[in-house]
């Protein structure tokens, strides 16, 4: 049996017993030694008994007993019992032993069995302890963490492979040297202070600091320090496990930097922003919102939004957050809020978790107080212009009526055919001017009033009620569609149906329908009339084109264009018209 001390294991001095079968790698040798020593011992004892030698030779049996009990502790007792029995048979079988010899042999057999049992027990315990020690050594050696053992004076005594990988030094290079060689020069008092804490019996866990590697790099590590105690419980050293957290700290620093940048950006946005949970409680507000509310950010967090914004005990009827939580979609609306002292365009966007579940909303309030004031001022100016236009139109029509009267008188007093022809053309010009002046009466309000959400079906029905459709079947195959458009959109549907009556050539059926596409919603109007010739499909939207005023479809396109809606004619000539009104996605919505 050989004995070897395993070094570089912090806090543990393991005695590793190298058994003969482990050293030579041939367990048959041990079995051969046991067999040979057993045979030789029994043979010599037989020979001694034949010569009346009974005191010395029996001690040779200790050799196979000890070998077997040591190398095979779980079979040592059984082997000893069998060997003792064989020895007893020899004593009784050779000659005629005296009672004294028999008693001595029995005493030896008891001693044999006792020694075998003791050696087996001790060997078994020793092997278990050695295996446990070796497992611990393996765990420490294979650990990715740097495990270092040192004395209370700070001298390195143990150094595992993880320490070699982390710091770059081999165990031979650092054993016996002060651990301060790993400490940065700007922290001379750190290691003595840590040692002092360990001396007092304290355990230190997750202590983050810097260390210097062999190549001079400065790394960040997380240390766990614990005392090493001897058999009496006295502290004789320190075990340190170090884990490299350089990348982790860099990532944390990047996250903190990004968080800081986000917070500074969040607070720098002039729009009023609030983050609200499912229950209307404020999670976060930016500085603009805090300033407008007149309370610190911390005082707004956790309170109900309708309490501090609307000074109400419940959400308003058309609360965008409530609408968002019910359908999970973004909602945009204009509001006037006295608490915030202004008009705002509110955008409520869904806030989702990693699974896609809506957990709240982000409210962005864009201050439109000044634009709204300008809009109101513009509306006032337009109303005054419309009033002036109405007065002017009334005066022009009066003058046209006078002019028409004089032309009638002139016709009655003139007989020259050529002059009568001139008067006829003058009357036609007067009629055309009167018709165009009258037409402006209906479209003088384009753009005066702000666009708004309007349900399509009631508008179509209202427009149809103003036309003679008694002999025409009309169908409205759409419902629950609202469009954000100028209030004069009713004139668009009126013109389409009027053109079918006026120019459709015996139209018997008209219908409206709606469908959604990738580009947006499409409101389609069709009839079963004569249709539009292919050469005129774009011309019909030009100002002055057509048999009547030539302004109806031109102005319809202008009304729709105010909110980005377009119109085109896509019917088949001879089979009826097909007007397609394309509404962008953010300009229509479905309602229940």
Residue 20 has pLDDT above 60, yes or no: no
d(CA 432, CA 547): 12
- By the 8 A CB rule, do 550 and 438 touch? no
pLDDT the model gives residue 579: 95
Three-state DSSP at 297 gives helix
Percent of the chain with pLDDT strictly greater than 90: 37
pLDDT average, residue stretch 22-42 = 78
- Strands (E) across 213-339 are located at 218-229, 235-244, 272-277, 282-285, 331-337
Quick one: pLDDT band at residue 543, thresholds 50, 70, 90?
confident
Give 69-85 pLDDT, tens digit per residue: 888 888 889 999 999 99
Residue 286 has pLDDT above 60, yes or no: yes
Give 152-187 pLDDT, tens digit per residue: 999 999 998 889 999 999 999 999 999 999 999 998
> Which residue shows structure tokens 């367990």?
27
Residue 27 has pLDDT above 80, yes or no: no
d(CA 283, CA 298): 10
Residue 440 has pLDDT above 80, yes or no: no
Three-state DSSP at 187 gives coil
Give 314-355 pLDDT, tens digit per residue: 888 888 998 899 898 999 888 888 888 889 999 999 999 989
pLDDT the model gives residue 6: 40
Residue 592 has pLDDT above 70, yes or no: no
d(CA 332, CA 179): 65
pLDDT average, residue stretch 500-510 = 89
Q: What is the largest CA-CA distance in the chain?
A: 185
pLDDT the model gives residue 19: 45
Torsion over CA of 161, 167, 173 and 175, rounded to 10 degrees? -70
Q: Cα dist. 80→101, 120, 210, 414, 555 in Å?
A: 20, 10, 61, 160, 119
Lookup: tokens for 97: 């032993």
pLDDT the model gives residue 281: 93
Give 116-163 pLDDT, tens digit per residue: 999 999 888 888 877 777 777 777 776 778 899 999 999 999 998 889
**Nearest to 507, CA basis, from 461, 467, 458:** 467
Quick one: pLDDT band at residue 63, thresholds 50, 70, 90?
very high
Residue 12 has pLDDT above 60, yes or no: no
Mean pLDDT of the chain: 85
Quick one: pLDDT band at residue 443, thresholds 50, 70, 90?
low
Of 148-162, 535-549, 561-575, the range with the lowest mean pLDDT is: 535-549
pLDDT average, residue stretch 413-434 = 82
Give 360-393 pLDDT, tens digit per residue: 999 999 999 888 888 788 777 777 777 777 788 7
Lookup: tokens for 552: 């109806």
pLDDT the model gives residue 175: 92
Give 83-110 pLDDT, tens digit per residue: 999 988 988 888 788 888 889 889 989 9
- Strands (E) across 256-299 are located at 272-277, 282-285
pLDDT average, residue stretch 490-507 = 90
pLDDT the model gives residue 544: 66
Give 213-254 pLDDT, tens digit per residue: 999 999 999 999 999 888 788 999 998 999 888 888 888 888
């Amino acid at each position: 049996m050989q004995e070897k001390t395993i070094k570089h294991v912090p806090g543990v001095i393991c005695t590793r017993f190298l058994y003969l079968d482990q050293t030579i790698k041939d367990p048959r040798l041990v079995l051969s030694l046991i067999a040979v020593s057993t045979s030789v011992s029994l043979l010599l004892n037989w020979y001694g008994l034949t010569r009346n030698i009974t005191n010395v030779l029996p001690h040779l049996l200790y050799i196979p007993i000890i070998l077997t009990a040591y190398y095979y502790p779980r079979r040592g007792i059984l082997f000893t019992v069998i060997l003792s029995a064989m020895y007893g048979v020899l004593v009784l079988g050779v000659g005629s032993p005296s009672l004294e010899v028999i008693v001595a042999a029995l005493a030896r057999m008891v001693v044999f069995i006792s020694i075998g049992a003791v050696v087996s027990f001790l060997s078994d315990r020793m092997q278990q302890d050695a295996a446990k020690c070796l497992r611990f050594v393996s765990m420490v050696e294979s650990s990715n963490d740097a495990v270092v053992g040192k004395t209370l004076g700070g001298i390195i005594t143990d150094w595992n492979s993880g320490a070699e990988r982390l710091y770059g030094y081999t165990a031979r290079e650092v054993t016996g040297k002060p651990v301060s060689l790993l400490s940065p020069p700007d922290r001379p008092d750190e290691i003595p202070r840590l040692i002092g804490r360990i001396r007092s019996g304290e355990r230190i866990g997750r202590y983050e600091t810097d260390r210097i590697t062999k190549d001079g790099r400065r790394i960040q590590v997380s240390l766990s320090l614990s005392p090493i105690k001897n058999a009496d419980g006295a502290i004789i050293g320190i075990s340190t496990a170090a884990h490299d957290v350089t990348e982790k700290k860099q990532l944390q620093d990047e996250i903190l930097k990004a968080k800081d940048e986000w917070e500074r950006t969040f607070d720098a946005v002039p729009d009023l922003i609030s983050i609200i949970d499912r229950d209307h409680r404020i999670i976060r507000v930016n500085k603009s919102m805090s300033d407008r509310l007149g309370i610190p950010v911390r005082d707004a967090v956790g309170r109900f939004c309708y309490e501090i914004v609307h000074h109400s005990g419940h959400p308003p009827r058309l609360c965008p957050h409530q609408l968002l939580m019910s359908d999970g979609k973004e909602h945009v609306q204009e509001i006037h809020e006295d608490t915030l002292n202004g008009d705002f365009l509110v955008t409520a966007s869904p806030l989702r978790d990693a699974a896609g579940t809506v957990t709240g909303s982000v409210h962005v309030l864009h201050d439109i107080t000044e634009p709204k004031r300008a809009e109101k001022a513009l509306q006032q100016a337009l109303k005054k212009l419309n009033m002036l236009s109405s007065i002017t139109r009334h005066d022009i029509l009066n003058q046209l009526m006078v002019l028409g009267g004089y032309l009638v008188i002139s016709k009655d007093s003139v007989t020259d055919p050529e002059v009568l022809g001139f008067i006829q053309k003058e009357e036609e010009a007067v009629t055309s001017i009167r018709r165009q002046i009258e037409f402006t009466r209906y479209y003088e309000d384009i753009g005066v009033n702000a666009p708004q959400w309007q349900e399509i079906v009631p508008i179509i029905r209202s427009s149809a009620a103003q036309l003679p459709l008694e002999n025409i079947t009309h169908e409205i195959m759409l419902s629950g569609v609202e469009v954000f458009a100028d209030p004069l959109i009713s004139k668009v549907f009126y013109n389409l149906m009027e053109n079918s009556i006026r120019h459709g050539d015996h139209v018997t059926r008209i219908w409206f329908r709606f469908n959604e596409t990738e580009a947006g919603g499409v409101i389609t109007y069709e009839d079963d009339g004569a249709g539009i010739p292919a050469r005129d499909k774009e011309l019909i939207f030009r100002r002055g084109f057509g048999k009547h005023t030539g302004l109806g479809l031109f102005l319809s396109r202008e009304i729709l264009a105010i909110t980005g809606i377009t119109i085109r004619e896509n019917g088949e000539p001879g089979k009826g018209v097909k007007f397609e009104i394309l509404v962008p996605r953010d300009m229509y919505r479905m309602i229940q």
